[in-house]
Amino acid sequence: MKDKSIKSLKFIGMGFLEPLIRALSGEERKKNFGTFVKGTLFPIASIFLFITVWHFAAHALYNKEASVKIEKARAEQGEEAALEVQNCIRSGEVSCQPNTLPSPAQVWMAYQTLWKDHLDISQKKRDFNQQVAQANSKRADQGLAPIKYTGRPSFLDQIGTSLKTVAAGVILALFVAVPVGIIIGLSEVLRNSFNWLIQIFKPVSPVVWLLLVFMIVKTVVTDPNLDKSFIISFISVGLCAMWATLINTSLGVSTVDKDFINVSKVLNLSIGQNIFKIILPASFPLIFTGLRITVSVAWMVLIAIELLAQSPGLGSFVWEEFQNGANDSNAKIIVAMFIIGIIGFMLDRIMLTVQNLMTFSKA
């Protein structure tokens, strides 16, 4: 019974509760409680500690900014103006609020606003689609593209766009970096000759990649119906992020275990078979380690790239909120920061799983 419930808990990803259940069922109580506290309660406690520190820091900054404002008013316009500013700040009027690091509570409120906003937008989207359903079926008969929703994207839509961009970028990186990595991994001459280029391009900033891609895409893609900003951003993301995969693939290919090469030689495998049956599988662990790095780099550079390419993802969300400079803009930016962090963490987990699946143990 106990083992079964532990097993099912692990299945739904709550394996960290295992020691608690074991302890409750009286099995090595002390040890299991210890494990539970260390493995689960400590991380949770550290999150609370972080929020507490943040809360107090935000308050300190708020007070500092407020007093600076009041002092400034006093120095420049006298006591009366200072009092006015002070009262204005106390009254909570939007126009004179100190604009500084938002507190956790503000961020939570901003999150709820965003969520409500999402629900409103999805409702509008449904209404819109109902409204144009008839027109769309007529357009479909005429062979025209259907009318799409014209409202602004919600926060969740923007997350979706970002995920799509990263996915496309990573796939691009995969299709460019893995074959190139294999080719240069197979030949030491090529490896040496490309090494400089790779070392030069690897540290190039995402912004520069974006501009470079922009120059090329602008010329190559002339069809106005294609979503150029998406094309530009995913190519840039791919180019920024592919280096880890490229280097790891070439390393993996160039260092395939001699034993496997010998097997291939003894079997007289053709070049193609050698690559696909021996070298590639043997390099999978390193390739996937590289891909995992690629995914995290892609997610990291995404924000900067979307911001500049006007792709409607999280990057442009952050930039727009920064530009808006409204009272809750800073809090919304921090919501985005957490969402970006959590998604990045989840992507890394997924890639780790894939990596583990792809890694074989010889022993």
Partner 1 sequence: MNTFRKISQSCFLGATLMLTLYGCGSGSTSGNQEGSAESSHTQKLEIEKPQLTFGFIKLTDMAPLAIAKELGYFEDEGLFVTVEAQSNWKNILDRVIDGQIDGAHMLAGQPIAAGSGFGRQAALVTPFSMDLNGNGITVSNEVWAKMKPNIPADGEGKPIHPIKADALAPVIQEYKTSGKTFKMGVVFPVSTHNYELRYWLAAGGIHPGFYTADNIQGQVDAEVLLSVTPPPQMPATLEAGTIYGYCVGEPWNQQAVFKGIGVPVITNYDIWKNNPEKVFVMTKSFVEQYPNTAIAVTKALIRAGKWLDDPNNRPKAVGILSKSAYVGADSVVIANSMTGTFEYEKGDKRPSPDFNVFFRYHATYPFYSDGIWFLTQMRRWGQIPDSKPADWYSQTIREIYRPDIWSKAAALLLKEGYLEESEIPETDGFKPPTRDFIDGNSYDGKDPIGYINSFKIGNKD
Partner 2 sequence: MALLELKNVSKSFGSGSTKVNVLSNINLAVEEGEFVAIVGFSGSGKTTLINLVNGLHFPDQGEVLLHGLPITGPGPDRGVIFQNYSLLPWLSVYNNIKLAVDEVFPKLSKMEKDLHIKKYISMVNLSHAKDKMPSALSGGMRQRVSVARALAMDPEILLMDEPLSALDALTRGTLQEEIVTIWSQNRKTAILITNDVDEGILMADRIIPLTPGPNATLGPEFKVDFERPRIVTEINKNSTYKRLRNDILEFLIEVGSTRRQFSDQKYLLPNLQPTYPGRRAFWKKNVNT
CA neighbours within 13 Å on the CB side: how many for 136?
11
Binding partner of residue 199 among partner 1, partner 2, none, CB cut-off 5 to 8 Å per kind: none
By CB under 8 A, tell whether 354 contacts partner 2. Answer: no
| Residue 252 near residue 358 (C-beta atoms within 8 A) | no
| Residue 255 binds partner 2, judged by CB under 8 A | yes
Give the distance from CA 45 to its chain's centroid. 25
The CB density around residue 340, as the number of other CB atoms within 10 Å, is 20
Which of positions 135-174 make contact with partner 1 (CB under 8 A)?
145, 147-148, 150-152, 156
> Which of these, 55, 66, 116, lies nearest to 92 by C-alpha position?
66
List the single partner that 284 binds among partner 1, partner 2, none, CB under 5 to 8 Å by kind: partner 2
Q: Report the partner that residue 129 touches, choosing among partner 1, partner 2, none (CB closer than 5 to 8 A by kind).
A: none
Q: Is 1 in the site for partner 1 (CB under 8 A)?
A: no
What would the x/- binding string for partner 1 be over residues 227 to 246, using CB under 8 A? -xx-----------------
325 makes contact with partner 1 (CB under 8 A)? yes
Rounded (10°) CA dihedral 263, 264, 268, 273: 150
Candidates 116, 138, 202, 265: give the one binding partner 1 (CB under 8 A): 116
Question: What span, in angstroms and rounded, lies between the C-alpha atoms of 360 and 363?
Answer: 9
Q: Which residues contact 204 (CB under 8 A, 6 or more apart)?
A: 240
> What secondary structure does DSSP assign to 55-81, as a single string?
HHHHHHHHHHHHHHHHHHHHHHH-HHH
- Residue closer to partner 2, measured from CB, 161 or 274: 274
CB of 190 to partner 1, least distance (A): 34
Between 25 and 187, CB nearer to partner 2: 187
* Residue bearing tokens 């069809």: 223
- Is residue 211 within 8 Å of 140, Cβ to Cβ? no
> What's the CA gap between 220 and 232, in Å, rounded?
11
Segment interacting with partner 1, rule: CB under 8 A, options 163-171, 221-229, 243-251, 261-269: 221-229
Rg (CA), the chain: 27
Burial 137-162 (b: 16+ CB within 10 A, else e): eeeeeeeeeeeebeeebbbbbbbebb
Tokens of 70: 């009041």
Residues 261-300 close enough to bind partner 2 by CB under 8 A = 262-263, 265-269, 273, 277-278, 281-282, 284-286
Contact partner, 87, from partner 2, partner 1, none, Cβ < 5-8 Å per class: none
Query: Total residues at the site for partner 1 (CB under 8 A)?
Result: 58
HSE at residue 222, side-chain half, CA atoms within 13 A, is 2
Q: Which stretch binds partner 1 (CB under 8 A): 161-169, 250-258, 259-267, 327-335?
A: 327-335
Binding site for partner 1 (CB under 8 A): 10-15, 72-73, 76-77, 93-95, 111-112, 115-116, 118-120, 123-124, 127, 132, 145, 147-148, 150-152, 156, 218, 224, 228-229, 307-308, 310, 312, 316, 319-321, 323-327, 329, 332, 342, 346, 349-350, 352-353, 356-357
Binding site for partner 2 (CB under 8 A): 255, 257-260, 262-263, 265-269, 273, 277-278, 281-282, 284-286, 359-363
